[in-house]
A = this chain, B = another copy of it.
Amino acid sequence: MSLSSLPEQIADRLRRDILRGDLAPGAAIKERDKAAHEGVSRTPMREAIRILAREGLVVLRPARSPIVADPSIKEVTDELVVMCELEVLSVRLACLHAPDDAVERIKSLNEQFGLEYAHRDMLDLFEMDMAFHRAIAAASGNAALERTHGAYLARLWRARYLSARERRSRDRVLTQHGAIVDALVARDPDRAAIATGAHLRDLVTNITAVMAGEDNSANETETRTRDTA
């Protein structure tokens, strides 16, 4: 009995491995080996890899092993900018159209975050943060927006995870989320948009700083020119 298909399950496992860093950026994913390792055949493994490729977590190279994506700072920043825009749109739409109980749910998510703040594991807190942002996208009532936003959220998991390790950034998150909730409750689209924009712009600077620090190697990902011998 499977809630999701086998390829999706494999993709989920691989995604976790990639995002948690167990599979290093730049590492090759040999479909034969991986399939054998997971105890499945190549076909579903292949499909799982394609799923992650579409998500941008692995890059496919013609006639070569797929490798774990190793996005440059610019690429991550670009993605963050887009996600920011999507979330601002979400919160605007949510102000206008979201039913009250959706707003209430978002509010309670943030309150819960405040409560559990001290006790919980960083990873749990992080999941709660994700849930908060996801809830806002869902509250927009725009399914396409929710999907695309979710895709970006997933792709940026790792970068956001790195950023969230900074302790001082966490309470800033809390107050900023509070501001967003307030504007949402007041049904004030402009204020909500500003609050969301500020929150995500902070995230951009934070992530940029962290990535610049951690990762001094200049790395590219996409198509690189290859010289013939």
A145 CB, nearest partner CB in chain B, Å: 5
Contacts of A75 on B, CB cut-off 8 Å?
143-144
Contact of A82 among B50, B54, B89 (CB under 8 A): B89
Task: Encode A75-91 as 1/0 by CB contact (under 8 A) with B.
Answer: 10011011001100100
Q: Which residue of B lies closest to A62 (CB)?
A: B5
Q: Which residue of B lies closest to A93 (CB)?
A: B81
CA distance A89 to B43 in the complex (A): 39
Does A142 lie at the interface of the complex (its beta carbon under 8 Å from any beta carbon of B)? yes
Does A205 lie at the interface of the complex (its beta carbon under 8 Å from any beta carbon of B)? no
CA distance A202 to B54 in the complex (A): 31
Q: Which 6 A-B pairs have the closest CB atoms?
A: A79-B144, A78-B142, A78-B144, A85-B89, A82-B145, A54-B54
In the assembled complex, 17 residue pairs joining A and B whose CB atoms fall closer than 8 Å, in A order, are: A5-B62, A54-B54, A75-B144, A78-B142, A78-B144, A78-B145, A79-B144, A81-B142, A81-B145, A82-B89, A82-B142, A82-B144, A82-B145, A82-B148, A85-B89, A143-B222, A144-B152
